[in-house]
Each structure stands twice: as structure tokens, then as C-alpha cells.
Structure 1
Amino acid sequence: MTMPQQERREKTGETYVYRLTGLTCADCAAKLERMIGDVPGVEDVRLNFGASKVTVVGKELSVQQLNRLGAFDGIRVMEEEDGLVPDWAQSRQTFLTGLSLTFLVAAFLMEWLSPSPLSVVLFAAATVLGGWETAKKGIPNLLRLRFDMNALMTVAVGGALGIGYWEEAAVVAFLFGVSETLQVYTTDKARSSLRNLLSLAPPTAVLLRDGREITVPVEEVEVGETMVVKPGEKLAMDGLILRGRSSINQAAITGESIPVVKEPGDEVFAGTFNEQGTLDVKVTKRSGDTTLAKIIAMVEDAQEKRTSTQSFVDRFAAWYTPAILVLAAGILLLKPLLWGTTWTSSLYDALALLIVACPCALVVSTPMAIVSAIGNAANNGVLIKGGIHLENAGSIQAIAFDKTGTLTKGEPVVTDVIPLAGQSERELLTVAAGLERRSEHPIARAILRYAEDHSIDGADVTDFTARSGLGAEARLKGTRVWIGNPRLFQEEGLSLGPVKETLLYLQQQGKTAVLLGNERGVTGLIAVADEVREKSRRAVAALKENGIQHTILLTGDNEATARTVAGDVGVDQFRSELLPADKVKAVEELRRSHGKVAMVGDGINDAPALATATTGVAMGGAGTDTALETADIVLMADDLSKLPFTVRLSRSALRVIKQNITFALLTKFIAVYLVFPGWLTLWLAIFADMGATILVALNSLRLLRIRP
């Protein structure tokens, strides 16, 4: 994957973003962040371990300056050629570790076949080769009293050589080199989902200028220009189709691999794939504002948001290493004085303890799992905006659903037009279209489509006022007119007596009745019906299989319609005729009775309820800025079946994080315990420490395998 210059370092005002390579240790990342923050002129610094980038506020740092600061752990600014080969494969550590293995095998063979002093030379060579990169980082850190893993390993290996433990020094140096290579590999693998997103959009676009097709970098494309997309090409920008018809694979955005037919007037997104016809597309967003660009930015930012688990781990790690260093010093000094052991034996035990003093496995246990889970979700059309939301989603006990556009298709159609008071259907629809012209509600759009299909223009109304959760009112030729649900007319004191039976009949059929009226009473009814999604039934069933204890439908629709839809999809409970404020109260009640609760809506009409829930989930975020901004989790496709996948992935991530932390702590405590009877060897210490780190990383990578 090539890394364009603007991806490597981009400037926004006084903010500078640098993409890094060689960033494999979360503890070292934190140290680099502190070092950059100490540079004069730097006002703020945020190092994103998951996205492997650093954001510097206040002063632009040169590439050479950043490379010098990161040299303690081989961290540097990513160049354009970087990324073509994985970090682990191009690492000098990998090459030297391979050479170390050669000398180590030769030394053991010589010792087995014909013991001689030459075997010591071979062990020493294996030690130098395996520990060269470690010592290069560790010795400067020791001089600065920075006791990271490299410094501790340097002391341990150097101490082993000093007391004549040649074999163990060589094996420990080699194993640490192997573990470093494996750690780079696993970190690189965890970030692969994010790299896939970065590589989706082409760096150039073909534009139609002055009747000619020219290729330009995406940064130079202006809104309003015409982009030409031929069959077999990816779209470089978001836009609207002007000419042409084709099947577009939108898996990059929505996670759905089934192509969608697009025609003139339809919206298309950067990073999607044009499978058939040539398209002329009017560009609607600049390269940094496309839906894909926002997804990438949000996925990267999501990895900066710390969870409560991470905060615990950081607090524990802050005192763990100093405590182990003090304990190692105590063992070195006190064991010979109190128990009469030899100084060499005590030094050996202290060196072994130093190896397990760095909390690498513990520090990486949570961020590695979060990187894997959020990256996997993004590649499957689910945008999780932070580790805290991933953690919350894994603990959800109850889920509340909006009806229109969530459990139903959100495309209601007019089924009945019932005029009263001597009006004709055309007259009734003329008034209804005039009132609904200014509304964004799906039912309003259904009425307008029906009127347009029958060549009916809306009446000119004045003093229009939307009534949240009820409908709307306006003036028509000086007379107040209303359109909305029965509650609106009850609040206005208008009798529903003449239409009660008709209302009940329509509601029993699962239809929603929209009433029209004026100061004299109800003048007509329009019935609309919204078909339940087939995937809604399967999604609700799958959620229950994944441990969701309670599901509830919250809708502003009438009781009969709510009961019909709830029965069709299989939710446990429903509440009807709710205003937005009522939905908020319902979510609050669910939180009191069930703990952590998710609210699923379209991200527009239910923003208060989404914000009140522990986790707000928006449907159909592709191309909808409001949905992207409102919710904690966004299902990019208009597809509820991704919700069970999200819950399953979140619960798996929570389990993996707990397993990682438990395993990391257990291995540390066992290693510390074994040092007292003298059973902790250098070999065992390196296996306990770096082995735990690798196993924690590999365990986190299992999250990449979970699929919808």
C-alpha cells in the first residue's frame, strides 16, 4: 500500500498529523508522546497507537526531529515507500534474529558433539546478534533512567554474560528478538483493517474539463466538477450520477457485497466499485469530506478514546514496574544477607525478575483487542466510535427500537384516501400536499409521492408550524388547518367521534391514519402502511440468541399498529403514541430496570432517545451526516441484520479483553512468586513475559475472524 504524502503528514491550521511506522509497544508509544510534548513550542500532542499516527498542536516538527525522538524504539515517520512491505518483514530485527538462531544452533551442536571454548564464542555471537537492536535502544534509556523493556532486557542479558551464563544470555537475547518480530507482526495484522480502509479510495480522479478527460489528484477536485467513472474502476469522490446506469458494489461503505443498481440522481460514494456502465458523476464533496474519509477519521479517532478498563490497566502499570524494580533490588541485597545465598545466585534471580518487570502484555491487552474489533466492524459496514462504546455494547441487556425506517422499510405508501365533509379525494390531497410539503417525515413523503403520482399540486399555505410528534398546522385562505395523528386533534379540542370506527378499522389492519381538519372538525383521513423488513424478524431473533434479555418497540404510532408490528418482528414489548420526550422517558426507565440499554433509530428523528441510551445506534449512515454525528454506533447500510453482529463482536471483544488482562496478570504474579524459591530462570522469565505478550496479541487477532 503506497502512502501519499498528504496521508503521511497533513496540516490543518496549527495542527500537524504524522503517520508512524515501527510503533508496536503501547508503553513505548506513551513515552514517545511525553517526549514530543516536552519539545518547546508543542502545545498538545496525541499519539494514536491503534492508527499509528501522532497529532501535534502548536509547532510543526521535522521528520528528522521526530525520527530522533522515536529512535529509542525504532519509531519513525512513515515514508511513501513504507507500507509496501509489512514492518516485521523489513525489520532489521528479523534479519539479526535469524542470524542469531544460526549461531545458537551451531553453539549447541558444538557443545553436544565436541565441547570446546569455541562454543562460548558462538553463544556470545548469538547474544550480540539477537540483542543488538535491543541494546541500541536499551543503553541510551538506561543512561536516562528510563526503565522500559529494552533497558531491562539489556541489563538482564548483560548481567547473565557478566556472571558466565553464556547459554542463557544467548537464548534470552534470541527469544526476545523472536518476540519483538512476532509483536510487530501481530500489531501490523491488527491494523490491517484500518490500512484496508486507507487504500480503498483511489488517489486520482478522471474529470471532464473543457470536453476532455484529464486525471488529477483527488485533492485538486472541486465540488461541482464532473467525474468520469468507467467499468471496473473505483469511485474517487462522493457525488450524484448525472448520466449513466450501473451496478455499484458498496461493500467499502456499507459492508454489503451485493451490488446496488444506481441511476441518474442517485448518490454514490468514494471507495465503491463500478461494475458495469460508464458514469458521469457530479462531485458533491471534497476529498477530505467524503463518507469514506469521515469513516476513516472516526475509526482512527475511536481508538484514542480510552475505556474504563484501559484506565485501570494504565494505573496498575504505573506502579507495577517501579514495585518490581524495588523487589529485584531487595532480592539482590537481602537474600545473601538473610538466607545466606550466594551473590551470584541472588543476582541471577534479580535479573530474571527484571525481565518480567515491564508490563508489556498488560498494557497491550486492551488496545490490541479494540484495534482488531473496531477495524473488523468498519470493514463490515459498522462504525463504532470508540472503545468505550465497544465496551458498552458488549454489556447491553436491553434494546429499544424505533419503528419507521428501523423495523419497517421506512417507505410507507398511501393505501386509503377517505374524504369527509363533502370534499373530493383531489381536494383533500391538495390540502394535505400543501401542509406536508415542508415536512421531512417519511409519512409526509409518502403523501407527497401519492399526490405527485396523481398530478396534484399542493395548496399554498401560510404560517406553517411543525408540531413535534403530532403533525403540523398552517393557514389556508385565512382558516386554520391541521394534519397529523389523533392526539393533535384531541389537543385542539376537535371531536373524533365521526371517525372513531374508521380509525379503529384502519389501525386493526396495521395502518397509520393521518387526519386532516379545520376549525369545524375532521375533513378526511389518509391511511398509510409501512412494510416490516424481513431482516427485522431474523435480527430480533438473533439478538435474543446473543443474550439480549429484553427488546421493546418505541413508536409515535397508534397502539393497534404498534401491536401488529411488535408481533410481526417478535419484540417483547411495545409502547405507542410516544412523543420524542416520551421516548426519552421510556429509555430512562429501561436503564433503571435493565442497566445498559441500546436505542436503535435513524439518527435524525430520535436524537434525544439515542443520546439518552447507554449506546445509540443509527441505521443507514451512508451519506447521512446527521447519523454519523449523532450515534455511538452507526450501521452504514440500511440493514438491521448488522446489529446482532455488532453485539456478538462487542461481547467477544469484552471477553477477549478480560481474558488478556487475567492471563497477563496471572503470568506476572506466578513469575514473581517463582523467584522466591529460586525457580524463576532467565528462560522461564522471557517465556512468561514475551510469551504472554504474544499470546495476548494473538488472542486479540481472533476478533478479526468474526463475520456477520
Structure 2
Amino acid sequence: MSNHEEFQVRGFTCASCATQFERNVNKLPGVSEAKVNFTASKLSVDGTVTVEELERAGAFENLKIQEASFSNNDWESDPIWKQGKNIRVAIASLFALAGWIALFQLGGESLLSVSLFLGAITIGGYQLFWQGLKNLVRAQFDMKTLMTIAIIGAAFIGEWGEAAVVVVLFAISEALESYSMDKARRSLRNLIDLTPKNTTVLQGTKETSVSVSDVNVDDVLLIKPGEKIPVDGTVMEGHSSVSEASITGESIPVNKKEEDRVFAGTVNEEGILKVRVTNRVEDTTLAKIIHLVEEAQQEKAPAQQFVDRFAKFYTPAIMILAALVATVPPLFMGAIWSEWIYLGLATLVVGCPCALVISTPVAIVTAIGHSAKQGVLIKGGIYMEQAGKVNAIAFDKTGTLTKGVPEVTDVDPLDGEDKVRLLLTAYHLEKYANHPLAKAIVQYIKDLPEHVDSEIEVTDFVTLTGHGVRGKINSVESFAASPTFVKDHYPAMFTKSLMEKVESLQKEGKTVVVVGDAKEITGLIALRDEVKPRTKQTLTELTRLGVKKIVMLTGDNTYTANAIGTEAGVTEVRSRLLPADKLNVIKDMQQAGYSVGMVGDGMNDAPALAVADTSIAMGKVGTDAALETADISLMGDDLAKVPYTIRLSRKTMMIIKQNIVFSLVLKALALLLVPFGWLTLWIAIFADIGATLLVTLNSLRLIRTESGTKKPNNRKG
């Protein structure tokens, strides 16, 4: 098995440079396969290679390499004004400016002005020339090849000043492209920065400050108020509220007590917590999120794949057009060679596809980074694009539309029966069961002020699968079971009036437990899994977004399903469904022509999630199942993030289309000047810079997309 290593790369200026670096690394001895993630500035290598070998492979771009480590989060790009290549551009700009001053002062070209222009070209463009010439020899026609031909051609026909300006402006355009990608990546870097570099480990009563990378599983950490939690763990001692906004996007702090889980990157707000470590820093939920976001940002949306294919034909087409502009008028119309060669060179420059190439990735990277910050993990550009097309959504009921935790709503002793007797019978039977309904009943009775946990022995205890529990209390066979079980086994006691009470509660969406013994029925306990707050508001928002069909899928009985569905505001309810039935419902909707989204818990809804056009898992604050199963994971289980995701997808695709139009229209307008002889190298390069700037600023508008979660009012009155 070959060795797998990951490296952080600093110095990429464009996607084509990343592609060239990947080719160079793949040619190194000892490397079986290398892949560059341009958006995350990372390199994955299968094989054996040294940092020195990698830096030699990236010498054409002066790339700097180091081994990737989650805890090593302090290696960021220098500010744009401190980067060596940009310092060289600044010097080249001064030379070019001095050259133009000399040109005007001396009334024309002179040895001084040409020398200054040549200095600007050499200082600002020697790396560009070297790579461009190598590409030309290999017949690889990218941006640097086009610019090299244009600059050499301009110098050849004596346009030294314009050649110098083109070098400087192209370098500025590259700096803009590099800046835009760095800006888009910053949301991911902010996630990494959530983890502190050091933490306090407790050894008995001794407190020791250690590097987070040295923290091991089962270590005990002391987390003080205001400190970030460095790794995942379980609270051993203490009580506090913890802000999990970095993981879930939810601004309301979560109360934490003993045995509760806490996550890396969250903030302890109030009390002191002692936390036992469950995951090392590289294995935390936050680390998994960052890894998924990195992979997602590299996955290309169909729109980006189209742009990549288009660029392969676009660049050679521009070269052919430039050659025709330079040669056809002089050859067949008697035009002046120098003028049309100049126009041909300007055509090469204006055709440079910088803005077009970054039009999609800068938008995708920005959108996925922003959504991750909001607690929504989108696993790639293809899923980002597909989410906006959804016009029908199926929701699982339990844990998705509802809280997933049943609560006792009614305790109804039959006429003449004692409520305390009813509760005690239910308590002593249900405390041996592990079902959510049983746990809810036991907890409800424990919390009652009148409850007395008397010592009553239960014998012959039996779990009635799917129906409840049964056992002997004081040698009398007793039960806490479903109405169906009681009706089948004790038909004489299941009277018409009792049936009417049961049906009345079920029509309210409640689950009914019948309590009694072999002699008589003591009474009924009703429970209900309440609809989550803001569910109806969220579904109304989905309808406003053009979602035509909202279906609730559940295995519950029809009465309960209809009651919950009505309260939630769905358009259709499908009840008594097995997992395979849910899958068939999704397929039927697809066959009816809908693009279907499925929202579930990522586990028992797996078949339906797998077949849906867009699958969205309720994340349960970072469970592995949620992170791995669906196309999109909602880390905070906030349904409001579903319409947010659809809005973000549609806005992203709109911006990508705008970016493509901006980059092509600006160049087309510049090319329209060619027949009139008005296109200059200056106009050409400004058209390229303008398109790059427009694309960048337009993409960064995605950062302002509303998350759909209203901030609470924290003022105390």
C-alpha cells in the first residue's frame, strides 16, 4: 500500500497554475498519484516525496509547501502588499511610469525610455515569459501563453510602452484573481481558526497548558468561561451554556451538564466545565466538517464543467481570431501590417479567459463556505446547483417536522379510578422498558410533586414488541400497552366508550397507552411528539419559493399523521409507511415530473434519501451518519435552513450566469472595436481586469444571503 500524504500549498495565482503543478508532481519519481485542490490550496500525494521535491516542482510559480496538519492553522497567505510577486509588480509599475515620463519629456522614444520599459517587462514578467514560452513549446495554450505572445509581439513592433503596461496590468489581474480566491477561502480558514492552539489539561489537581495537538483521548480538560472548547468530549463535571453557532449556525446557547457532549470550536459561555476528551483534534466533528467543505469546494457544478469545456475551445479560437485579424487585412486589403499586427495582439489580450475561468469556482467556493458557517454542509457544486431546482419536498415526521421526543399530554383515569394508582402502575412497568414512550412516561411521573417511588416488585416482566409492556404487580397481571393489544387480548374490557376516548385522543395526533390489569382498565395516558417551533412558517416559506408539493412521510397511524400534518402545514400526508414505502413515494413523485428533495434523519430514511434528487439530513449536531449519508446536512436540525439552502442555491446559480455574461460581454464589446481599428492593448487589458473585478465582487454578494434564522433578543427585562 502506497503512502498517502497531504500538503498545504501557498502561492497559487490561478487554476491553470494549479493544474500545471499537479502535472509536475505526477512526474516525480516515487509519486503514484497526485491531486491538487486549488480551492483549498492543498495537495494530496500517494507515494513518497519530500517537501524540497515538491517546491522544485512548483518553482515556476515560486510555490511554498508544508505538511498539512489540522492543528497547524497559523500558516496563512501574506497580505497582498507583502507578497514577493506583488512587490516585483510594484517595482515594475514604477519603471513603467518612469518610462512614460521619459517618453513625454524627451518627445519620443529614447534609449532611456526603452530601457525603463524593458526593465518593467523583465522585472514584472520574467516568470510569465518563462512559463509562457514553455507552454508554447508544448503547444499548451493558456492565459500565460497568450500574454507572452502578445507582449513579445508588442515589443517586436516597437510598442515598448504598451508592452510594459500590459505586463503590469496582467500581473494586477492575476493578483485580483488570487485575492478573490483567498477571500472565498477565508470562511474555511475561519472554521479552522475556531480551534484554540493551547488548552488546559487536568492531572489530578494540577493544571498544565499543552498544545491542542498533544491532547489525547480520555484526557480531562478544564474549560473556563469564555474559552473555546478545543476537541470533542463529554462533560464530567460542571454546568454551563455553550454557544454551538460555529457548528450548527444556531445563535441560542445550549445548556450543558454532566454526560452531555460538547464539540470542538464551540464556546463555553458561563460556568467551569471539566471535559473528558473523546476525539483527538484531527478527528473532531469540526475537523470532519472542514474536510467535507474542502472536498465540496473542489467538486465542480455542471455549470463549472461547462465553463471548463468551453475554455478549452475558447482559447485556441481566440488565437486563430487574433492571427486572422493580424494577417487578413494586410494580405487581402492592402492594410498596414504594423497596425493590424498590433490589433491582433490586442485581440489576444482581450481574449484572455481569466474572468471566465474564475466565474464559477469563486461563486461556488464562497457559497459553500458561507453555508458551512451557517450550519449547512453542502457536499459539492453539483448538489448546490441541484438544490435550487427542487419543486417538491418530502419530510420524515419524527425528529424532522417534530421534536422527536414524545411528551405526556393527558393522564385520564377511568370513572371511579384513582389517578395515583394509574400513575404508579404505569411507572413500575415502564421503568424496565427502553422505548421512547416508556422513558417519557417515567420521566413525567418522576417530575410530578405527588409522585412517591414506592417499592413495588414487578415479576414476569415482558416487553410486547410494538405494543408496550406487561408484568405482575402484587401477583396481578398488569399492562401498559397499545389500544390494539388491549382490544385483542381483553376485548370484554375494551368498551365502546373507551374506544371513543382513544379515537378522540388519536385524532389530536396523540399516541395512547392503555393501563390496567387482568381485572379492569385503570385509565389512559396520551403522549405526543410536538411539532417543532417555526415548522409551519418554514413550510410557508418553501411554498413562496415555488415548492408545489410538501409531503410528510411517517410510519405512524393515520389519525396521528393527519393531526401532525395539519399543524405543520404540509400539502399531503402519507402514513403507515415502511422505509421501502417511503422510497416508492419519492419515485412516484419523480415520475410525476417533480425534482424531489427528501429531508430525514440520515439513518432510517436512508433508502428515500438515496433515491431523492436532493437529500437533506438533519444533522443531530454532527453525527457521522448525517455527515456521510446525504448531499446536504443541517448541523443544527433547524428546518429554516431548508428554504435558506434553496435560496442560496438559486442565488449562486444566478450569480454564476451573471459572471459568465459579464466576462463574455465585456470582451465582446472590446472585440467590436477591432474592425474600426480602435482596440488598443490598454483597452484590452482593462477589459480583462474589469471583468475579473466584476466577477469577484458579484460572487462575494453571496456572503450576504439571509440564513433564515432570526437572532434572539438577549436583553433581560
Normalising by the smaller structure, the TM-score range is 0.7 to 0.9
- Secondary structure of the structure 1 residue equivalent to 2:546: coil
How far apart are 1:383 and its partner, in Å?
1.2
Q: CA deviation at 1:505?
A: 0.6
Structure 1 residue aligned with 2:330: 336
- Partner residue of 1:21? 10
Look up the match of 1:629.
628
Deviation at 1:190, TM superposition (A): 0.6
Query: Given that residues 483 and 514 in structure 2 are in contact (C-alpha distance below 8 angstroms), is that contact kept between their aligned partners in structure 1?
Result: yes
Say whether residues 1:587 and 2:586 are aligned partners. Answer: yes
Q: 1:250 to 1:172 in 2, by over 3 A?
A: same
Q: Which moved more, 1:521-530 or 1:172-181?
A: 521-530
Q: Which moved more, 1:100-109 or 1:513-522?
A: 513-522
CA distance in 2, matches of 1:23, 1:271: 28
Cα displacement (A) at 1:199: 1.2
CA distance in 2, matches of 1:291, 1:18: 21
Q: For residue 541 of structure 1, give the secondary structure of its aligned residue in structure 2.
A: helix
Counterpart of 2:551, as a letter, is: I
SS of the equivalent of 2:31 reads coil
Following superposition, the deviation at residue 549 of structure 1 comes to 3.0
CA distance in 2, matches of 1:125, 1:608: 66
Cα pair distance change 1:520/1:99, threshold 3 Å: farther
Alignment of 1:125-274 (within 5 A): 125-274=119-268
Q: Name which one, 1 or 2, has greater alpha-carbon Rg.
A: 2
Superposition deviation, residue 463 in structure 1: 9.2
Inter-CA distance 700–493: structure 2 relative to 1 (3 Å threshold): farther
Q: Which residue of 1 aligns with 2:311?
A: 317
- The aligned residue for residue 32 of structure 2 is 43
Match in the other structure for 1:76: 64
1:102 is aligned to 94
Alpha-carbon separation, structure 2, partners of 1:243 and 1:705? 40
Paired position in structure 1 for 2:500: 501
User: Is there any run of 5+ residues in structure 1 with no aligned partner, and where?
Assistant: 1-11
Give the CA deviation at 1:575: 2.5
Matched residue of 1:396: which SS? coil
- Alpha-carbon shift at residue 120 of structure 1 (Å): 4.1
Once the two structures are TM-superposed, the CA of residue 239 in structure 1 deviates from its matched residue by: 0.9
CA distance in 1, matches of 2:554, 2:487: 19
Whole-angstrom distance in 1 between the partners of 2:328 and 2:482: 83
Query: Is 1:32 aligned with 2:31?
Result: no
Distance (Å, rounded) in 2 between the aligned partners of 1:407 and 1:81: 38
Cα deviation code 1:631-680 (max 9, x no counterpart): 22111113222222222211111111122223334445555565456444
In the alignment, the residues of structure 1 paired with residue 143 and residue 549 of structure 2 have an alpha-carbon distance, to the nearest angstrom, of: 47
Give the secondary structure class of the aligned counterpart of 1:89: coil
d(CA) in 2 for partners of 1:461 and 1:320? 80
Where does residue 4 of structure 1 map in the other structure? none
2:548 aligns with 549
Alignment partner, residue 348 of structure 1: 342
Deviates more, 1:559-568 or 1:482-491: 482-491
Deviation at 1:592, TM superposition (A): 2.9
What is the deviation of 1:16?
0.7
Identity %: 46
Whole-Å separation in 2 of the counterparts to 1:485 and 1:161: 90
Q: Distance in 2 between matches of 1:592 and 1:186?
A: 42
- State whether structure 2 residue 103 is matched by structure 1 residue 115: no
Answer yes or no: is the 8 Å Cα contact 2:391–2:548 preserved in 1: yes
**8 Å Cα contact 1:242/1:265 also seen in 2:** yes
Deviations 1:328-354 (A, max 9, x none): 344444443333333323422332233
Of 374, 382, 391, 1:388 maps to 382
Task: Say if 1:205 and 1:218, in contact at 8 Å, map to a contact too.
Answer: yes
CA 1:258–1:24: 2 relative to 1, 3 Å? farther
Q: Identify the residue that residue 93 of structure 1 maps to in structure 2.
A: 85
Map 1:47-58; keep pairs closer than 5 Å. Answer: 47-57=36-46
Q: Write the letter of the residue equivalent to 1:349.
A: L
Return the offset for 1:506.
Answer: 0.2
More deviation, 162-171/371-380: 162-171
CA 1:219 to 1:489, structure 2 compared with 1: closer, same or farther past 3 Å?
farther
Aligned to 2:710: none
Using the TM superposition, give the Cα deviation of residue 22 of structure 1 relative to its aligned residue in structure 2, in angstroms: 1.6
Whole-angstrom CA distance in 1 between matches of 2:163 and 2:353: 21
8 Å contact from structure 1 (residues 231, 275) kept in 2: yes
1:414 alignment partner in structure 2: 408
**Secondary structure in 2 matching 1:43:** strand
CA distance in 1, matches of 2:271, 2:253: 13
User: In terms of mean alpha carbon deviation, does 197-206 or 293-302 score higher?
Assistant: 197-206
CA deviation after TM superposition for structure 1 residue 707, in Å: 3.4
Q: How many residues get paired?
A: 687
Structure 1, 529-538 or 424-433: larger mean CA deviation: 424-433
Q: Secondary structure at the match of 2:359?
A: helix
Contact 1:362–1:664 (CA under 8 A) maintained in structure 2: yes
1:561 to 2:560 alignment: yes
| 2:168 partner SS | helix
SS in 2 for 1:158: helix
What is residue 534 of structure 2 aligned with on the other side? 535
Partner secondary structure for residue 622 of structure 1: coil
1:697 corresponds to: 696
Q: Is the 8 A contact 1:404 1:530 kept in 2?
A: yes
Is the 1:414–1:446 Cα contact (8 Å) retained in structure 2?
A: yes
CA shift, 1:192, in A, is 0.4
CA contact (8 A) 2:422 2:515 kept: no
Closer, same or farther in 2 for the Cα pair 1:451/1:191, shift >3 Å? Answer: same
**Aligned mates of 1:239, 1:681 — CA distance in 2:** 63
Q: 8 Å contact 2:600–2:609 — kept in the other structure?
A: yes
- Work out the CA distance in 2 between the residues paired with 1:340 and 1:481: 109
Displacement, 1:516?
8.3
Partners of 2:187 and 2:373 within 8 A in 1: yes
RMSD: 3.6
Aligned-partner Cα distance in 2 for 1:335–1:521: 106
Quick one: distance in 1 between partners of 2:580 and 2:486? Answer: 19
Match of 1:359 in 2: 353
CA distances 1:572-603 after superposition (whole Å, capped 9, x unpaired) = 33233333222222222232335222222222
Q: 1:81 and 1:585 mapped to 2: Cα distance?
A: 46
Give the partner amino acid of 1:200: L
Residue of structure 2 aligned with 1:377, choices 368, 371, 381: 371
Q: Deviations over 1:15-52 (max 9, x none)?
A: 11011112231222223223322333322222112111
Q: Deviations over 1:427-448 (max 9, x none)?
A: 45555554x41x4xx5454245
Give the structure 1 partner of residue 53 of structure 2.
65
Distance 1:487 1:31 in 2: 70
Give distance in 2, aligned partners of 1:390 and 1:504. 45
Offset, 1:160: 0.5
Distance 1:128 1:31, change over 3 A: closer
Matches of 2:340 and 2:295 in 1, distance apart?
Answer: 47
- In the alignment, which residue of structure 2 is the partner of 1:6? none
Deviating more after overlay: 556-565 vs 290-299: 556-565
Amino acid at match of 1:299: V
Q: For 2:21 and 2:504, locate their aligned partners in 1 and report how far apart those are by CA, in whole Å.
A: 69
Q: 1:554-703 alignment to 2 at 5 Å?
A: 554-670=553-669, 674-675=673-674, 678-703=677-702
- Is contact 2:243-2:269 (8 Å) kept? yes
| C-alpha distance in 1 between matches for 2:63 and 2:519 | 77
Structure 1 residues 391 and 119, CA, compared in 2 at 3 Å: closer, same or farther?
Answer: same
